[in-house]
Amino acid sequence: MRQARIKVDAGKGEAVYHCMSRTVNGERLLDDVAKEVLRKQLWQIADYCGLEIITYAVMSNHFHVLVRVPQKPAITDTELVRRYRVLYPKPTKYQTARFEVIQSQLKSNGEAAKEWRNQQLAMMGDLSPFMKLVKQRFSVWYNRSHQRYGTLWSERFKSVLVEATSGVMRTMAAYIDLNPVRAGLVNDPKDYRFCGYAEAVAGHKPAQQGIVRLIEGGRKQGWNWTQEAYRKTLFGKGSTPKERGAKIDDAAMQKVIKAKGRLPLHQVLRCRVRYFSDGAVLGGHAFVQEHLGTYQKLTGKRSRTAPRPVPQVTDWGDLSTLRGLRRKAFG
């Protein structure tokens, strides 16, 4: 029997939730490219839904996200269109034309405009539509790019309502950011690309704003002071033995305490550069195929089979399926 989800009415005030979802059968399906796509989609969909990501961690078979749902504000049509565009950072010709139609309908404020407006508003300021959209959009991308079908996630997402005080949120955020340490992937959470703390250290402003919310006085003191305070929290909690999983060793914790949580400049710069250089080749199919040869020469890595050449296709007709695209492209 399903357990009732505890949610705060968005009309009565803000709420913070820790959400988690696991892949089907707990299979380790998410490689670095998939983690990167999911990371980007989390930020995009949070922006669209009007929610704030405080921190997150994307692992090989599950992900965590600590998200703040604010009290629902009034949203103008201009803001609705901006949020809708966020979901399509590289719009097709059809999507671009769709944007123009929407804006035209909103100006006339007819029945079509009211219906579209209500559809968008129903997706905003609520935890469930946010998580549903994240899981659906990522599943579509994953299945298309891996030539698979069927469910990707094992069950509906789990959520815990978190008291919106800095102390409680900081404890939950540290638990999330320490996931890669407990999994034995890194010794320091700043070295794991796919978590909120590492992204904040790398200079991502929304990620920094999430961490600032965790530390009392963070907004007044600024990012550097906040980072030092949160880093000491991470290493303090990460050095505590757990029933399962690795922990931060005592020597590393002592170094952080001695440095008062400060990160040397060269380490900060390395974290920033990693966000531009990790992941080998990340892009559309044509872009990856174009640059795959160069990557293989540099690394010595070889794919199991040689990539098939992609011919130029000028007449696309009304292709709407992947099978039709293959037939058109390869005959």
CATH of domain 15-72+125-277: 3.30.70.1290
Q: Which region among 33-42, 237-246, 276-285 has the lowest average model confidence (pLDDT)?
A: 276-285
Separation between Cα atoms, residue 165 and residue 210, nearest integer Å: 13
Cα angle at 49 between 57 and 211, to 5 degrees?
40
* Amino acid 219: pLDDT: 76
Smallest CA-to-CA distance from 106 within 116, 97, 121, 98 is with: 116
Structure tokens at 13: 């005030």
CB atoms near residue 135 (< 10 Å): 20
What angle do the packed helices 166-177 and 223-238 form, to 10 degrees? 70
pLDDT band at 222 (very low <50, low <70, confident <90, very high): confident
In degrees and rounded to multiples of 5, residue 159 shows phi and psi of -140, 145
Domain spans of the chain, in order of start: 15-72+125-277, 77-122
| Strongest mean pLDDT among 25-39, 261-275, 296-310 | 25-39
* Amino acid 44: pLDDT: 96
Output DSSP code: residue 187.
Answer: S
* Amino acid 252: pLDDT: 55
Q: What is residue 195's three-state secondary structure?
A: strand
pLDDT band at 317 (very low <50, low <70, confident <90, very high): very low
Structure tokens at 152: 């990707």
| Strongest mean pLDDT among 187-191, 243-247, 248-252, 295-299 | 187-191
Question: Helical H runs in the chain?
Answer: 32-49, 77-86, 93-108, 111-122, 127-145, 166-177, 179-182, 196-201, 205-214, 218-221, 223-238, 250-258, 265-277, 285-299, 322-330
Is residue 218 pLDDT above 80, yes or no?
no
pLDDT: is 166 or 99 the higher one? Answer: 99
Reported as a single tens digit per residue, the pLDDT across 187-213 is: 889 999 999 999 999 889 999 999 999
Distances (CA, A) of 156 to 2, 6, 71, 176, 216: 10, 14, 24, 19, 33
Q: What is residue 158's three-state secondary structure?
A: strand
* pLDDT mean across residues, the chain: 78
pTM comes to 0.73
142-146 contacts at long range (C-beta below 8 A, 24 or more positions apart): 142/29, 142/34, 142/37, 144/322, 145/285
